[in-house]
C-alpha cells in the first residue's frame, strides 16, 4: 500500500511497488489528463509535479512516491499555472493538444523557479518536452506572455 497526496487529497493505492506513477494515475485513479507518449522519459507528455518539481511519471515508481505530494494537470492551480493557462488560451498554443498537459506542467514549474525567463532559460527547461505538431514557437511566446501576466 502506498499513501501520497494527489492534488491536495490523500490517496492510497494497493499496487506493485514498481508500477509507474503514470499507470497509477491513469489506470488506478482514472486521472487521464496526464498522457502516455513514449514510456521511457523521452517526450515529456507524462510530466507531473512531485514535491513541486517536474518529473516524468512514466519513469517514477510508485514506491518512491510514498508520503510525497503529486500535482497533475487536473490540480495545478498556482499563480504560474494560472498565468500559463491564460496565455495558452490567448495565444491558442495547442494544435492536437496531446502534449500540452506535459508542456503546461513543465512550463509552470519553470515560471515558479524563474519568473522572468530568457529564451535560453525557456529552451533549456522545455527542450525535452516534445510536440509532434511543432507548437514550439507558440509555447515560447506564451511562456513570455505568462511571465508578463504574473508580473502585472
Shortest CA distance to 105 belongs to which of 148, 66, 57?
57
Instruction: State the virtual CA torsion across 61, 125, 5, 8 in degrees, nearest 10.
Output: -160
Q: Does 96 bind ligand FES (CB under 6 A)?
A: yes
For ligand FES, the binding residue among 36, 82, 115, 144 (CB under 6 A) is 36
CA 64 from centroid of its chain's CA atoms: 18
Lookup: cell for 89:
488560451
What does the alpha-carbon distance between residue 99 and residue 79 come to, in Å, rounded to a whole number? Answer: 21
For ligand FES, the binding residue among 13, 15, 41, 91 (CB under 6 A) is 41
Which helix (H) or strand (E) covers residue 63, if one does? none
Shortest CA distance to 7 belongs to which of 110, 94, 77?
77
Cβ 25 vs Cβ 88: under 8 Å: no
For ligand FES, the binding residue among 4, 6, 37, 70 (CB under 6 A) is 37
Q: Does 131 bind ligand FES (CB under 6 A)?
A: yes
Least Å distance, CB 151 to ligand FES, is 27
Q: Does 61 bind ligand FES (CB under 6 A)?
A: no
Looking at the Cβ atoms of 13 and 38, the one nearer to ligand FES is 38
Looking at the Cβ atoms of 31 and 43, the one nearer to ligand FES is 43
Least Å distance, CB 105 to ligand FES, is 11
Looking at the Cβ atoms of 47 and 150, the one nearer to ligand FES is 47
Where on the phi/psi map is residue 18: left (φ > 0), alpha (ψ -120 to 50), or beta? alpha
Contact set with ligand FES (CB under 6 A): 36-39, 41-46, 56, 58, 94-100, 131-133, 135
Amino acid at each position: 500500500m502506498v499513501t501520497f497526496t494527489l492534488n491536495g487529497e490523500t490517496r492510497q493505492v494497493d499496487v506493485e511497488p514498481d508500477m509507474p506513477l503514470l499507470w497509477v494515475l491513469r489506470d488506478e485513479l482514472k486521472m487521464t489528463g496526464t498522457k502516455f507518449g513514449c514510456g521511457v522519459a523521452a517526450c515529456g507528455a507524462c510530466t507531473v509535479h512531485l514535491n513541486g518539481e517536474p518529473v516524468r511519471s512514466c519513469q517514477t515508481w510508485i514506491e518512491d512516491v510514498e508520503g510525497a505530494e503529486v500535482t497533475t494537470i487536473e490540480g495545478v492551480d498556482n499563480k504560474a499555472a494560472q498565468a500559463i493557462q491564460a496565455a495558452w488560451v490567448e495565444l491558442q498554443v495547442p494544435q492536437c493538444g496531446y502534449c500540452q498537459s506535459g508542456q503546461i506542467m513543465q512550463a509552470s514549474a519553470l515560471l515558479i523557479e524563474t519568473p522572468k525567463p530568457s529564451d535560453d532559460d525557456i529552451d533549456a527547461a522545455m527542450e525535452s518536452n516534445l510536440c509532434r505538431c511543432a507548437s514550439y514557437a507558440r509555447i515560447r511566446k506564451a511562456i513570455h506572455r505568462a511571465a508578463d501576466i504574473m508580473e502585472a
